[in-house]
Amino acid sequence: MNSLELVDSFSEFKELKNIDKQTMQRVLEDVFRSMLKKKFNTDEHIDIIVNIDKGDVQIFLNKEIVDDGEVEDSNTEIAYSDAVKIEPDFEIGEEVTEEFKFGDFGRRNVLSLRQNLISRIMELEKDNLYKVYKERIGEIITGEVYQVWKKEIMVLDDEGNELLLPKSEQIPSDYFKKGETVRAVVAKVDMRNSSPVIILSRTAPEFLERLFELEVPEVFDGLITIKKIVREPGERAKVAVESYDDRVDPVGACVGMKGSRIHGIVRELRNENIDVINYTNNSQLLISRALSPAKISSIEINEEDGRAKVFLKPDQVSLAIGRGGHNIKLAGRLCGYELDVYRDGEVDIEDVDLEEFADEIDGWIIDELKAVGCDTAKSVLELKAEDLVQRTDLEQETVEEVLRILRSEFE
């Protein structure tokens, strides 16, 4: 391999992404110096000049001029008679600088040098990619779907870096095809087998927060603060917002005129219902707002066990619980309390508390029914079996048996 071939082999590294010229120059010099040190057992007499722009490398050997016949190491010393052929004015004790030709390396050494260079550049690229994305955790990335697998999809960013979006970090209704554009937030960056693995997420609360920053200028500018976000990806989300400027309505600004701002976010999240509420330090008021659209009659908070009893009119119970229990579950997470729903109003003297059936219905089943607001026999019978199966973790057969027992009480 001659010098031109060697220079050509380096030209492919000139425009490497994420690697600045100074770093590239240092790596090239280190690789050459390491090879030359093996050849000469020292590198003190060697100067290496790297020109990244031209893809050129020059190596110079500095040799001391000694008397004829006293040359002990031809790599570091040169005879006086040979030195004056280069420059007649040279004297003994001075230094002569000679350019080292690539051909003197030998083909095997040149190939080894090239492999070492590729290895160093790859390591450098991996380290830089890790550092860059480590600093971008929590940022939104827009990429192109490159490969779709059963458990994850591969996404390429603008620079062709490979990012992973696992199935567990996708919204349940997400469906991507190769070539489509996808937006997600950088969730974490791991090192596996010395290679950086960038994990994206569309289910993280940070993704929804970044979307609000993109769609709502007041959030981006800091006029509105997002205090907390809780999500059931693809189903429902609750966002507590606060404004330190009395002139700014945080909820109205986030929703936009006729929902113009929130609609873009909802579409991105596959029609996920988003409730935006005003944040407050008043726990009772926050719970009341979080359970919207249900209207609360009264609330009893027990700070010791972190639970809150919520009393509602019978027709508001299903609204508070929501489809699949998502509304009450998210409200509890947003407020930091376990919420127990109770029916308020006059007690039906013909109704029977579920605890009265403890000898026929297991306690854990009664607890499941109470968790969705059904604490009396009639409140259970008002619902269809399908609704009870969907709202609770009970099997169809169990629900039907419970309904049979409760109906027999009134028959």
53 and 173, same domain (yes or no) = no
- Domain edge (last residue) among 131, 158, 173: 131
Question: Between 181 and 106, where is the model more confident?
Answer: 181
pLDDT bucket at 176, cuts 50 / 70 / 90: very high
Residue (of 334, 331, 330) closest to 234 by Cα position: 330
What's the start-to-end Cα distance of the chain, in Å? 99
| 104-108, 113-117, 159-163: the lowest-pLDDT one | 104-108
pLDDT at position 155 is 97
pLDDT at position 193 is 86
The model's pLDDT over 30-88, given as tens digits with 9 standing for 90+, comes to 877 887 777 777 777 777 777 766 667 777 878 878 888 777 777 777 888 878 777 78
d(CA 10, CA 52): 9
| 12-16, 125-129, 236-240, 270-274: the lowest-pLDDT one | 12-16
Q: Judge whether residue 14 has pLDDT over 60.
A: no
Q: Judge whether residue 387 has pLDDT over 90.
A: no
pLDDT bucket at 350, cuts 50 / 70 / 90: low
Q: Judge whether residue 347 has pLDDT over 70.
A: no
pLDDT at position 4 is 44
**Residue 53, in any domain of the structure:** yes
DSSP category for residue 100: P
- Domain edge (last residue) among 106, 131, 156: 131
Per-residue tokens: 381:
């019978």
Residue (of 397, 321, 346) closest to 405 by Cα position: 397
The model's pLDDT over 202-228, given as tens digits with 9 standing for 90+, comes to 999 999 999 999 999 999 999 999 999
- Domain edge (last residue) among 131, 155, 173: 131
93 and 39, same domain (yes or no) = yes
The model's pLDDT over 267-316, given as tens digits with 9 standing for 90+, comes to 999 999 999 999 999 999 999 999 988 889 889 999 888 999 998 887 78
Mean pLDDT of 400-406: 89
Helix (H) or strand (E) segment spanning residue 237: strand 236-243
Q: Are 25 and 51 in contact (CB under 8 A)?
A: no
Give the phi and the psi of residue 91 in degrees, each rounded to 5. -130, 160
pLDDT at position 122 is 81
pLDDT at position 241 is 96
d(CA 179, CA 153): 12
Question: Between 350 and 124, where is the model more confident?
Answer: 124
Mean pLDDT of 306-330: 86
Determine the structural domain holding residue 115 and report its residue range.
3-131
Question: Between 280 and 102, where is the model more confident?
Answer: 280
Indicate the residue type of 334.
L
Number of domains in the chain: 3
162 and 123, same domain (yes or no) = no
95 and 61, same domain (yes or no) = yes
Give the CATH number for residue 366: 1.10.150
175 and 80, same domain (yes or no) = no
pLDDT at position 112 is 76
| 16-25, 79-88, 245-254: the lowest-pLDDT one | 16-25
- Characterise 69 by phi-psi region: left (phi > 0), alpha (psi -120 to 50), beta (else): left
Tell me the pTM: 0.67
**Residue 253, in any domain of the structure:** no
Give the CATH number for residue 95: 3.30.1480
d(CA 243, CA 251): 9
